[in-house]
Structure 1
Amino acid sequence: MSSSKSAINLGLERIRALLGHLPPYTRPTCHIAGTNGKGSVTALLSSILTASSYRVGRFNSPHLVSILDSITIDDSPVLKYTYSDMRQRVETVDRDHNIGASSFELLTATALMIFEDAAVDIAVVEVGMGGRLDATNVISDEQILVSALTAVDLDHQLFLGDTVEKIAIEKAAIARKGRPFVLGFQPHPEVNQVVREVVAKVGGTVIEALVPTKRKRDPKLDGEEPLINRIPPFSVPIDLLLPLKGDHQLQNLGIALTIVSALLVQPDTSLQLHKNITPETIANGVRNTHWPGRLSFHRISLPLPLAHPVSPQEVINTATVTSRFLVLADGAHNPASSTTLASFINNVLGGRISTPSAATNPITLSYVIALSHSPPKKPKDTLSPLFAVAASLLSTTQESHLYQIRVRVAFLRFTSPDGMPWVRPEPPSKLKGLVSPLLSEAEIWTAADSGSEPKEDLKEALNWVTRDQHLKDSEGLIVVAGSLYLVADFYRLLQSQKSVD
């Protein structure tokens, strides 16, 4: 058994024992599972509920920059004191009763007890892994308002199964008797039937998620392109401005809106959902949604100071000018999410290079990549979509003779996340060997496989990918991707610069 698998021990026995010695969890809860998109759905849903005057707790995993990010109340991370105090109480119970809870079970119990202690009106809880045996599935049937499933794809096969059907069965097992189960759009049609069978077996009700559609942009409206849809039980269209980028976010928005609809058609409770959730609060909630690290654009000042000396030539090339460069950060970590990212890159740069009048400067597309070691997931499968779109852009510009496009790829490691010692990066030297067969024209830089500090490697990689842009006055896009943990390192760097856009 691999060390990564032995570190993850799915099951509900320990979390049940742990919560059995803590105050009862009584908060009404929306429970979200899926392979891709569940974090975005929780962000949209919690923002809508917060805009509707509810006190909302949200639990996501893994965290981004800090463990505090994973537990929010009204879209703000909990205070360090609040987290530390509750975590200590939970760990004391675990130790005193010799339960042996895992780090994720301790975190889940801490989140639920923080929500209980704060008396949140509604909690929005993201499943950690799978569903049936995930620690979050300890929440009682009585407390679940709605369950939902986002897109299912191959991931965590060692734990959940080697087919999308098997994985879907595990994830759909969060369904509850007598409760609505929102089924999002599935890229693999075979998932739909097995999910329906699981939900029917427990006595739940499947509701297919609507998918909002774009309409022509109203020049009188500011911001992103508006969306329009009728949301039952509202009889009028609702104009929405969606800040989350990428067409796939339409599907995630549809799931969030369908959860809202499912809440509204339930018998009213003390929450007074029908009174507080209105077209206006839905629109405000969607517009104010913030979910960093998913197709997020930022500007970063380069060059960055390095902990170790660089070559004299690099000093000459980078030290004389400081510029702000455009970075696209996305935690694409599996083939499905990297395909989504590749499509977005193609839309951004493809439109640019297809416009002759815009073809004045060369473009540099730079990938800064780290991947988690997570067999049987293969690094090649995750990287192929990103390299394929780069190869396509290269081919397009070569055929048109309009202007140059250059591709640079930097491979590095990430900082191991707190409380997750089993998470480790793929060696950069291993990833380097995948470039030539997939993207032979790329320039490559690799960090050391060990010994160096990941945060310093990231600085050096960012300096390297932009070095020639200083001299050649070229345009460029830096894509930080492959792991949410690398994105977390990037956000820590942004915080140190105090320049998060």
Structure 2
Amino acid sequence: MIRVPSVPIPASFGSLRSGSLADHYNSQIPTRLYCLRQQSRKTMLGYRRFLTSFCNIRNGSGKLLPFLSFSQHRLNSTLTEDPKLHDFLDYLEQLKNYERIGVPKDAGTDSDDGFDLDRMRRLLQRLGNPHSRFKVTAANIIYAFSAISLIFCSPHLLTIRERISLGRSGGPVSVELLRNLFYHIKGSLDLSIEMEGGALTHFEVFTALAFALFSQQGIDVAVIEAGLGGARDATNVLCSTGLAASVITSIGEEHLSALGGSLESIAMAKSGIIKTGRPVVIGGPLQPHIEHIIRSKASSLNSPVLSACDAGIKSITRFFGREAETPYQCCEIHINIQEDIPLFLDLPDVKLRMLGKHQLQNAVTATCAALCLRNEGWRISDVSIQAGLEKTFLPGRGQYLTKKEAETLGLPGVSIVVDGAHTEASAKGLIEIIKMENPDGPLALVVSMASDKDHMAFAMQLLTGRTPNVVILTETSIAGSRFRTVSASDLKEVWFRAATNLGINVLDLGTINQWKTDGFPNVFSGQMKTNHSQVLLIALPNALVGDSMQVADELLRYRTGQKTHLIAVTGSLHIVSSVLLAVSQN
């Protein structure tokens, strides 16, 4: 293991002094800011990325530079949201947002510390109980079938409208529908917020608005994704008569503290979406004692249970292919279940745009849910199920950018995959996707994570599954704030320890608060050429994600001498959002 705490500064980087590379770059900040004022407009445009990457930068003494403390995320939100929604968005901004500040301990458990569902029920009552006027599939899985006319999920990537999809097109709800409904119910929202003493949250108000929209549009059935666990989630206000089916895809250590601190308590929280007499679909595979918790809850409510891991279900991926630039996995799904809920379906040739074994299992789970609805009398044909599976695509989940999109990021010829993985299990899924496209070629990871995740387990999984050549640790705002963002330098230390624990040879290039593309790799030329098997680690806390990707590209090219390689951006949906935003703006 090698660390590089201090390196000499070559002449091409300036001749202020020798010392650490991080100190050198920090010393250049005031000088370059002054120079910006002296340059022509043409030159200043070249500094756009340099200047905007200074959000929350700290100088050598650790002090925050106050004149650069604007919110880059808020600027991004303004650019991506339609101006007609600004009143609505500003209204939501005044409410408590747990996506930004983190969920309190045990808030998702069915206990005295859990969220108050009665508060949500009172809000809906003031809106006329819109959630009682349509059927719901309560789930944490989003797949589109012909019979489903609405989807509600979170979080979003580029626009809050993504959280609501209407109709069979699967597109975000229109600006006009969302804006008009907001103004229509704003009086009731104002009264509720006042009556609840300001306790209503961003998620509760938006969920209530979504339910009101569903009712207004006269939909047949809605797929509602639980935001946190299930038992005390704001969506869990539905009674058994309004529920078509419950779907529990997996039980992992996500939101561990908020859901009781153990897999068992998480299983209990998620089983809270099970309602009396309504069918339950389990995705899995789950540990036997965890599945027993869910089945016991279902049994106590006389709810039939169907497992997507039933012995009568067979699914395989035959091959990985592309149509134009769209990757897919060609799969077979065969369902023949005689017990519990009898189901039959044979799909010998399904092209899934959602990649990886975990997405095939999700497809099987969604298919089982659709067949349950069919057993309940819904008219859902085999053809519509296959069409729904093949049409389904969720941005930011194993998404490969097109060549044109890579070019807009200044990375022509580079393969780029963005994936919101942030748990040990999802990291394993990402590795499977990477191996499909790039089993042994040069690989760089660009990672940013929230502070409340298991960083060590995430790093260990990625390093074990497919050892990268380069790992860039960076920082991205979460819901408009860095409050929940783990620092890039702390994240780098975790990755260094993970590599050490696994016996992986790693070269720690340190933390750089600002980088310079021209000649950047030359600073480390001696160290990087000593051992090509070393994994390069570097923290770039103040770089925009596009800049971090360009650093990854340069280090890969310099280290391997190859022009074709893969860059995977991961760690949260928020860093994925930053990439997709950069693509859309360019």
* TM superposition score normalised by structure 2: 0.67
1:370-449 alignment to 2 at 5 Å?
A: 370-374=448-452, 377-391=453-467, 407-417=469-479, 424-439=484-499, 440-441=505-506, 444=509, 448=513
Partners of 1:154 and 1:193 in 2: CA distance: 17
Partner in structure 2 of residue 399 of structure 1: none
Question: For the residues of structure 1 that align with 2:347 and 2:255, how far apart are their CA atoms?
Answer: 39
**Alpha-carbon distance, 1:88 to partner:** 4.4
1:282 aligns with 2:385: yes
Using the alignment, how far apart are the partners of 1:141 and 1:117 within structure 2? 21
Aligned pair in 2 of structure 1 residues 183, 304: CA closer, same or farther (>3 Å)?
Answer: closer
Identity score, percent: 23
1:458 Cα deviation (Å)?
A: 0.8
Post-superposition shift, 1:340? Answer: 2.0
Partners of 1:333 and 1:101 in 2: CA distance = 28
Instruction: Determine helix, strand or coil for the equivalent of 2:254.
Output: coil
Conserved? CA contact 2:314–2:334, under 8 Å: yes
Structure whose CA Rg is larger: 2
Are the structure 2 counterparts of residues 105 and 435 from structure 1 closer, same or farther at C-alpha, using a change threshold of 3 Å?
same
Match of 1:189 among 274, 283, 288: 288
Residue in structure 2 matched with residue 213 of structure 1 by the alignment? 315
- Partners of 1:366 and 1:477 within 8 A in 2: yes
CA 238–177 in structure 1, closer or farther in 2 if over 3 Å, else same = farther
In structure 1, runs of 5+ residues without a counterpart are 33-37, 306-321, 354-362, 392-405
Corresponding residue for residue 209 of structure 2 = 110
Q: Is the 8 A contact 1:176 1:202 kept in 2?
A: yes
Q: 1:259 aligns with which of 347, 354, 369?
A: 369
Q: How far, CA to CA, are the matches of 1:132 and 1:337 in structure 2?
A: 23
1:479 aligns with 2:565: no
Superposition pairs for residues 147-162 of structure 1, below 5 Å?
Answer: 147-162=246-261
Q: Aligned pair in 2 of structure 1 residues 260, 57: CA closer, same or farther (>3 Å)?
A: same
Task: Provide closer, same or farther for how the CA distance between residues 470 and 103 of structure 1 changes in structure 2, counting only shifts above 3 A.
Answer: same
Report the Cα offset of residue 215 of structure 1. 6.7
Once the two structures are superposed, the pairs formed by residues 76-475 of structure 1 within 5 Å of their partners are: 76-97=171-192, 98-99=195-196, 100-210=199-309, 211-214=313-316, 224-230=329-335, 233-234=343-344, 237=347, 239-266=349-376, 268=377, 273-274=378-379, 277-299=380-402, 300-301=405-406, 304=409, 323-350=412-439, 353=440, 363-374=441-452, 377-391=453-467, 407-417=469-479, 424-439=484-499, 440-441=505-506, 444=509, 448=513, 457-468=544-555, 472-475=561-564
Could you tell me how far 1:81 is from its partner in structure 2? 2.6
> 2 CA distance for matches of 1:84 and 1:102?
19
Contact 1:303/1:463 (<8 A) preserved: no
Residue 250 of structure 1 aligns with an amino acid whose one-letter code is L
Moved more, 54-63 or 364-373: 54-63
Contact 1:27–1:120, Cα closer than 8 Å, also in 2: yes
1: distance between equivalents of 2:567 and 2:507? 14
Tell me, yes or no, if the aligned pair for 1:239 and 1:283 is still in contact at 8 Å: no
* TM-score of the aligned structures, taking structure 1 as reference length: 0.78
Number of aligned pairs? Answer: 426
Q: For 1:385-441, what per-residue CA distance to the aligned partner results, in whole angstroms no more than 9, with x for missing partners? A: 1122344xxxxxxxxxxxxxx7111111113326xx696210111111123333343
Mapped partners of 1:448, 1:125: distance in 2: 42
Distance 1:119 1:4 in 2: 35
Native 8 Å contact 2:331 2:351 kept in 1: yes
For residues 209-251 of structure 1, the C-alpha deviation after alignment (integer angstroms, 9 at most, x for no partner) is: 25541275699x9963131313665565553222210011121
Residue in structure 1 matching 2:158, options 49, 52, 65: 65
Q: Residues 438, 234 of structure 1: CA spacing in aligned structure 2 closer, same or farther, 3 A cutoff? A: closer
Structure 2 residues not aligned, in runs of 5+: 1-99, 108-113, 337-341, 500-504, 515-539
For each residue in 1:355-387, what CA deviation from the matched residue of structure 2 results, as whole angstroms up to 9, or x when unmatched? xxxxxxxx431111000011xx43112211112
Cα 1:58/1:216, change in 2 over 3 Å: closer
Equivalent AA in structure 1 for residue 173 of structure 2: V
Equivalent residue of 2:406, what SS? strand
Once superposed, which parts of structure 1, at least 4 consecutive aligned residues long, lie more than 6 Å away? none
Partner of 1:360: none
Match status 1:4 vs 2:102: yes
Contact 1:164 1:188 in 2 (8 A): no
Contact 2:469 2:556 in 1 (8 A): no
Contact 1:415 1:454 in 2 (8 A): no
Contact 1:369–1:412 (Cα < 8 Å) also in 2 = yes
